[in-house]
């Protein structure tokens, strides 16, 4: 009989007061063993709402960035015995009810990483995704698939699930503390030979949902292309980057306290 894997959902939060409860209410508790929130020094009542909901919460005393938030999320989840970790934005953009499908794919043993793709469902624009974001997503994905030699439908979703082995193996502490962390992590997973599955995931765009502006999006795009080029150069052994190094710093290089 296969040993049961502890499933932990991590919520990297910043100013999520208005959407946190709706997100948490739809997380299927028959599949998820624990919910953990990391607050990146929100300016609203996110931490108060999380604690009223009974969610274990870690608070960054100062804003450290989206990537830094995820590093804390994953390290804390591993310390709490997670076998599978699902990263879900607490802004109610992605549907928590899809979590069982993502977890099932990981438990099947066929995949090490599962992403919730907004493109597979063919409803991104109807869901309110700005046209410039959709076009950028498609162009960046095309470039990455070419440079990485893969055929993913997208690399930019904020809805992901990982096995413990992935989180213990990838040198995540080498990654950016900003938004490009997401993309670096997927590229690392491919570089280190982990298999990636996709599920269709609708996505909602509305005033309370988090979103980065055009300038931040442009910087993210540059970071994405840089990461893909570095991947290819490291594959060809023309460069040696910390994010693709087996000797890079991992989540085990430190502890999280304060839960």
The answer as to whether 49 is a domain residue is yes
Number of domains in the chain: 1
- How is the beta sheet containing 34-39 ordered, strand by strand? 57-59, 34-39, 7-13, 84-87, 160-163, 113-117, 196-200
Tokens of 165: 């082995």
Torsion angle, alpha carbons of 194, 4, 37, 161, to 10: 20
The answer as to whether 69 is a domain residue is yes
pTM: 0.93
CA angle 49, 53, 59 (to 5 degrees): 55
What was the pLDDT predicted at 55? 98
The answer as to whether 254 is a domain residue is no
Please name the residues in contact with 7: beta carbons below 8 A apart, sequence gap of 6 or more: 31, 32, 33, 34, 82, 83, 84, 85, 86, 103
> What is the 8-class DSSP label of residue 39?
E
Phi-psi region of 9 (alpha: psi -120 to 50; beta: other; left: phi over 0): beta
Residue 253, φ and ψ in degrees, nearest 5 = -85, 60
Write out pLDDT tens, residues 109-125: 999 999 999 888 766 66
Write out pLDDT tens, residues 60-110: 999 999 999 999 999 999 999 999 999 999 999 999 999 999 999 999 999
The answer as to whether 166 is a domain residue is yes
Query: What is the CATH classification number for the domain harbouring 156?
Result: 3.90.550.10
> What is the 8-class DSSP label of residue 233?
H
The answer as to whether 164 is a domain residue is yes
pLDDT tens for each residue of the chain, 259 residues long: 345 799 999 999 999 999 999 999 999 999 999 999 999 999 999 999 999 999 999 999 999 999 999 999 999 999 999 999 999 999 999 999 999 999 999 999 999 999 999 888 766 666 667 777 788 889 999 999 999 999 999 999 999 999 999 999 999 999 999 999 999 999 999 999 999 999 999 888 766 655 666 677 889 999 999 999 999 999 999 999 999 999 999 999 865 544 4
The answer as to whether 249 is a domain residue is no
Residue 221, φ and ψ in degrees, nearest 5 = -60, -40
Please name the residues in contact with 135: beta carbons below 8 A apart, sequence gap of 6 or more: none
What was the pLDDT predicted at 207? 64
What was the pLDDT predicted at 28? 98
The answer as to whether 32 is a domain residue is yes
What was the pLDDT predicted at 129? 73
Cα 57 to Cα 227: distance, rounded to the nearest angstrom: 31
Cα 90 to Cα 124: distance, rounded to the nearest angstrom: 19
Q: Which domain holds residue 32?
A: 7-244
The answer as to whether 256 is a domain residue is no
């Amino acid at each position: 009989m296969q040993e049961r894997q502890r499933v932990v959902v991590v919520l990297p939060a910043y100013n999520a007061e208005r959407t946190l409860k709706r997100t948490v209410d739809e997380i299927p508790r028959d599949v998820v063993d624990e919910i953990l929130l990391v607050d990146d020094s929100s300016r609203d009542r996110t931490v108060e709402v999380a604690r009223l909901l009974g969610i274990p919460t870690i608070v960054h005393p100062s804003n450290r960035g989206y990537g830094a938030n995820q590093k804390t999320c994953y390290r804390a989840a591993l310390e709490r015995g997670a076998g599978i970790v699902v990263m879900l934005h607490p802004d109610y953009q992605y549907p928590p009810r899809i979590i069982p499908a993502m977890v099932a794919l990981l438990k099947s043993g066929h995949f090490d990483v599962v992403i919730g793709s907004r493109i597979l469902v063919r409803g991104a624009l109807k869901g309110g995704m700005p046209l410039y974001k959709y076009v950028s997503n498609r162009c960046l994905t095309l470039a990455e698939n070419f440079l990485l030699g893969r055929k993913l439908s997208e690399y930019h979703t904020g809805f992901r699930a990982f096995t413990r082995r992935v989180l213990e193996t990838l040198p995540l502490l080498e990654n950016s503390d900003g938004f490009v962390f997401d993309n670096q992590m997927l590229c690392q997973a491919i570089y280190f030979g982990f298999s990636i599955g996709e599920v269709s995931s609708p996505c909602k765009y509305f005033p309370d949902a988090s979103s980065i502006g055009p300038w931040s999006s442009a910087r993210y795009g540059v970071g994405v292309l840089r990461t893909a080029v570095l991947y290819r150069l490291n594959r060809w052994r023309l460069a040696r980057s910390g994010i693709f190094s087996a000797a890079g710093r991992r989540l085990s290089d430190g502890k999280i306290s304060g839960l």
